[in-house]
Amino acid sequence: MQTHLRGRDVIDFQEWTRDEIETVLDVAFALKRDRALGQPHPYLRDKVLAMLFFFASTRTRASFEAGMAQLGGHAQFIESRSTQIAHGDTAKEIGEILGRYNDGIAIRNVDWGVGNAYVREVAAASRVPVLNMQCDHFHPHQALADLMTIIERLGDPRGRTATISWACAKTYSKPLSVPQSLIMLLPRFGMNVRLVHPPEFGLMPEYVEQARENARLGRASFEMLDDFDEGIRGTDVVYAKSWGAVMSTSDEAEEAGYVDSYRDWIADERRLATAGDDAIYMHPLPGERGTEVTDAVIDGPQSAVYDQAENRLHGQKAVMALTMG
């Protein structure tokens, strides 16, 4: 167990060692047990977390805010449009000022080509840890909760196979951050990863290569497929969600055309039946019912979506307790 994590930023867990991530998991499971037993754990009494949102949120805001309260501290919700950011507050100024008022800064900025750079600029100026609540590149706390859920539902992840697949959704162009964080994190814990997507929906090449290297070091496999059915066959985890075609086009109409041509990429009962005997279905929510996933799958016995959502709370509490304590 590592005991030197106070003050550490969490922008993506690729920047943390496996031992450090295992420490977070250990603390997260302990805090989850404490919560179940009604045991108080006010490790962050009188601490304040600034939560700066540039993008709407349900689970992220609710879980961070509840987590800080359960740790004895306070979460300060800041919606970017209610600040002077539009009138000139720079990332450096946000880092300097909020870092002097608070004990941690959490940021959600998923604007393509902007979010990750913004989070890193704030972190460079801040004297307190900066936690990435999702940017255009990464969603580390979602990936952490997903790994927790896989361990709970399937046991030791080594040798298991996770299919991280694109699925059809028509509401808006979703970030690449969830699949990118997952394909890099899971192989470090010995999971075989299948990255499945149509040709137009590729991920950022540097993170695909990092995932491949992580698989080599983790003695796991990393495959890329463009056949949804083949990707699900025999797998242990079906993680099927939409993401945008930003690596192929910046034209919204062109992207909408791509989406429409793959409208049969839906996680349905027929496909789930071809997965492993104890396979689980995962999605970070909100899932687009009827296009990404059928009701029978997301509400069915193989679905782990609510366990994932709950584990956001426990994983984030562990991160905050270890970095802000």
Does residue 142 surpass a pLDDT of 90? Answer: yes
DSSP strand pairing (104-109 vs 130-135): parallel
**Are 42 and 159 found together in one domain?**
no
- The answer to whether residue 291 scores a pLDDT higher than 90 is yes
Across residues 182-205, what is the average pLDDT? 98
Q: Strands, E, within 92-211: which ranges?
A: 104-109, 130-135, 161-166, 192-196
SS (H, E, C) 54-84: CCCCCHHHHHHHHHHHHCCCEEEEEEHHHCC
CA separation (Å) from 278 to 130, 234, 250, 304? 38, 10, 40, 12
| Average pLDDT of the segment spanning 284-310 | 97
One domain for residues 294 and 199:
yes
Do 275 and 135 reside in the same domain of the chain? no
For residue 4, being part of any structural domain is answered with: no
Work out the average pLDDT over 278-294: 97
Nearest to 264 by CA among 290, 284, 288, 246: 290
| Cα–Cα dist 202/139, whole Å | 17
What pLDDT score does 172 carry?
86
| Distance in Å from the first CA to the final CA of the chain | 16
pLDDT in tens, 239-253: 999 999 999 999 999
Question: Is the per-residue pLDDT at 150 higher than 90?
Answer: yes
Please check whether residue 181 lies inside any domain of the structure: yes
CA 4 to each of CA 27, 72, 185: distance values in angstroms, whole numbers, following the listed order: 14, 22, 21
DSSP SS3 for 193: strand
> Do residue 49 and residue 134 come from a single domain?
yes
Give the 3-state secondary structure percentages of the chain, helix then strand then coil, rounded to 5: 45, 15, 40
Measured between alpha carbons, how far is 286 from 123 in angstroms, rounded to an integer?
A: 29
Give the CATH number of the domain where residue 43 resides. 3.40.50.1370
For residues 245 and 317, membership in a common domain is answered with no
Does pLDDT of 1 surpass 90? no
Can you say how many angstroms the Cα of residue 203 is from the centroid of all Cα atoms in its chain? 15
pLDDT average, residue stretch 294-310: 98
Same domain, 189 and 265: yes
- pTM recorded for the entire structure: 0.97
Q: What are the structure tokens assigned to 77, written together? A: 């919700």
Query: What tens digit of pLDDT does each residue of 21-78 get?
Result: 999 999 999 999 999 999 999 999 999 999 999 998 999 999 999 999 999 999 999 9
Size of the chain, expressed as the number of residues it contains? 325
Mean of the pLDDT values across residues 299-313? 98
Q: Does residue 273 contact residue 249 with C-beta atoms inside 8 Å? A: no
Do 179 and 296 fall within a single domain? yes
User: In total, how many domains does the chain have?
Assistant: 2
Whether residue 82 contacts residue 27, with contact meaning beta carbons closer than 8 Å, is answered with no
Q: Work out the average pLDDT over 206-234.
A: 98
Q: Please check the confidence at residue 255 and state whether its pLDDT lies above 90.
A: yes
**159 lies in the same domain as 49:** no
pLDDT tens string 156-186: 999 999 999 999 998 889 999 999 999 999 9
Kindly report, residue by residue over 81-139, the tens digit of the pLDDT.
888 898 899 999 999 999 999 999 999 999 999 999 999 999 999 999 999 999 999 99
Q: How high does pLDDT run on average in the chain? A: 97
253 and 117 share one domain: no
Task: Give the angle 107-6-186 at the CA atoms, nearest 5°.
Answer: 65
Domain membership flag for residue 19: yes
Q: Is the dihedral of CA 134, 182, 205, 240 positive or negative?
A: negative
